[in-house]
Amino acid sequence: MYINVFKFGGAAVNSAAGVKNVADILAQSDANHLLVVVSAMGKTTNALEVLLKNYRNNDPITVIESYKQVHDYHYSILEGLFEDKNHMVFGEVDSLFNMLRGYIRKGHLFTNEPLAYDFEYDQMVCFGELLSSTILYHYLALKSRSVKLFDVRDLIRTDSTFRDAHVDWKITEKLIQKTIPGFFHDHPEHGAIALTQGFIGSNSSGNTTTLGREGSDFSAAIFAWCLHSKEMTIWKDVPGVMNADPKWMADSVCLDTLSYREAIELAYYGASVIHPKTIKPLENANIVLRVRSFVDPNLPGTCIKNLRHWKIQIPIFIRKQDQILISLSPRDFSFILEENLSEIFRILANFRVKVNIMQNSAISFSICVDADPQKINPLIAYLKQDYETRYNDGLELFTIRHYTDGALNSIIRGRKVMMELRSRSTVQVVLK
């Protein structure tokens, strides 16, 4: 049985018109069996993060405000999709909001230790995907598609690393194989759809977990791998994988093909077009990844596959904003040696801070990381015990693959270079 996997991100379903457009794309697809993964609508995940923050601060007024924002946004989309105000979707969305309110009312389950934050994060932020999938499901069902909604927490099993859960591939494959092909077997009609949520999973105790921000691409790859798909498509608001984010580089161009290897490199350096964990399972099973535009589904998009001799004539730019550069020197005036380095990496791993780039000299070690205050503030406080710790925030990190001097200069343009790293194929600069 051949099952194709589609993934629609938040931008694809950020309005009633968006949901209708997704339904049109699905209706026009020539795939026989489709497994569809959907993310939270628009910027809902960010909005839920704000709600979580207010809730953790025990601030009732801002809690109500931020809750209402998420609530009203979804109801405005519902209003635009369902004329019949007695449609059962309203009741189901109500009950999801009741559950979210119930969670908020219960108060803190744990103290303020970092793990508790991550746990609560997953229990609250998952509502974005639960809401979007419920709404999309009912809209597709209304358009008389043969469609079924699957709760992904019954399908993707993870460990308990909340906010960054690791997939148990063996159990997940079993759960997916036991469920999804059977559905298509019972629904042999052309275009049957199994719909599910991206980003979330559950641990063996049944607690909701999440796979890391923007993790829905990875969810789709998990399904493609477990279902032995030949192809998976990520639908985006850009024509495909661009050589730079069109939001800041107006003359960026779409790449028609990419090798898995290059796609992994781009994701590793922070290209936001594909989640870093997505490519590896696809490469392992030789599943072709297409990145296509939901704005203009007629465009061919980018095709990512196994290409041994892939070459590119133009540089590819990756920009990461909100960076912080942290420099450490041992307080005891010792040199930075292997022991210090392994100690520092152990601390970074404990605080779950990912290093974007690093550099060391005899007496200091510098890292550039995402300025996530939840993680960075306690990290810096901890490091200060043993290291003279200085930091510089509000920085940008640019990576240029297949760079030229001209390309690098066009990025620096008189700004202060705080750190630079070059290899044959890649240059990275941290700019103030």
Binding positions for Mg ion, rule: CB under 5 A: 10, 39
Choice between 132 and 399, CB closer to Mg ion: 132
| Partner from Mg ion, ligand ASP, none binding residue 42, C-beta < 5-8 Å depending on class | none
Nearest residue to the partner ligand ASP, using Cβ: 216
**Contact yes or no for 368/358 (Cβ under 8 A):** yes
Measure the CA dihedral 104/108/113/118, to 10°. Answer: -30
**How far apart (Å, rounded) are the C-alpha atoms in residues 177 and 196?**
15
**Shortest Å, Cβ 55 to ligand ASP:** 18
- Report which residue's Cβ sits closest to Mg ion: 10
Nearest-approach distance from CB 273 to ligand ASP, in angstroms? 12
Tell me whether strands 231-236 and 3-8 are parallel, antiparallel or unpaired.
parallel
Q: How far is the CB of 279 from ligand ASP (least distance, A)?
A: 15
How far out from the chain centre does Cα 54 lie?
23
CA atoms within 13 A on the CB side of 143: 21
What is the C-alpha separation between 382 and 321, in angstroms, rounded?
24
Nearer to ligand ASP, 293 or 327 (CB): 293
Task: Using the minimum distance from each CB to ligand ASP, give the nearer residue, 39 or 209.
Answer: 39
CB–CB of 430/370 below 8 Å? no
User: CB 411 → Mg ion: shortest distance, Å?
Assistant: 27
Q: Which is nearer to ligand ASP, 128 or 270 (CB)?
A: 128
| Number of other residues whose CB lies within 10 A of the CB of residue 286 | 10
Distance in Å, CB of 7 to Mg ion, minimum: 11
Report the site for ligand ASP in 178-237 (rule: CB under 6 A).
Answer: 198-199, 213-216
48 vs 279 by CB, closer to Mg ion: 48
Please state the φ and ψ torsions of residue 216, each to the nearest 5 degrees.
Answer: -65, -30
Instruction: Report, in Å, the least distance between residue 215 CB and ligand ASP.
Output: 5
Q: Tokens in use for 170?
A: 């063996």
418 φ/ψ angles, rounded to the nearest 5 degrees: -90, -25
The option from ligand ASP, Mg ion, none interacting with 215 (CB < 5 to 8 A, set by class) reads ligand ASP
Give the total of residues touching ligand ASP (CB under 6 A): 12
Considering the complex, state which of residue 181 and residue 212 has its C-beta at the smaller distance from ligand ASP: 212
**Interface with ligand ASP includes 276 (CB under 6 A)?**
no
Site string for ligand ASP, 113-152 (x = CB under 6 A): ---------------x------------------------
Q: Is the dihedral of CA 206, 211, 213, 217 positive or negative?
A: negative
Nearer to ligand ASP, 130 or 336 (CB): 130
Q: Which of 310, 315, 267 is nearest to 291 (CA)?
A: 267
**183 or 199: CB nearest ligand ASP:** 199
Q: Alpha-carbon dihedral of residues 104, 107, 112, 115, nearest 10 degrees?
A: -60
Q: What is the distance between the alpha carbons of residues 274 and 369, in angstroms, rounded to a whole number?
A: 19
CB of 10 to ligand ASP, least distance (A): 5
Which CB, 209 or 428, lies closer to Mg ion? 209
Question: Sheet containing 288-293: which strands, arranged edge to edge?
Answer: 147-150, 192-197, 33-38, 3-8, 231-236, 288-293, 302-305, 257-259
Cβ of residue 377: shortest distance to ligand ASP, in angstroms?
22
The counts of H helices and E strands in the chain are 13, 16
CB under 5 to 8 A by kind: which of Mg ion, ligand ASP, none does 213 bind?
ligand ASP
Convert residues 26-55 into a mask of x (bound to ligand ASP by CB under 6 A) and - (unbound): -------------xx----x----------
Radius of gyration of the chain (CA): 23
CB of 214 to ligand ASP, least distance (A): 4
For ligand ASP, the binding residues (CB under 6 A) are 9-10, 39-40, 45, 128, 198-199, 213-216
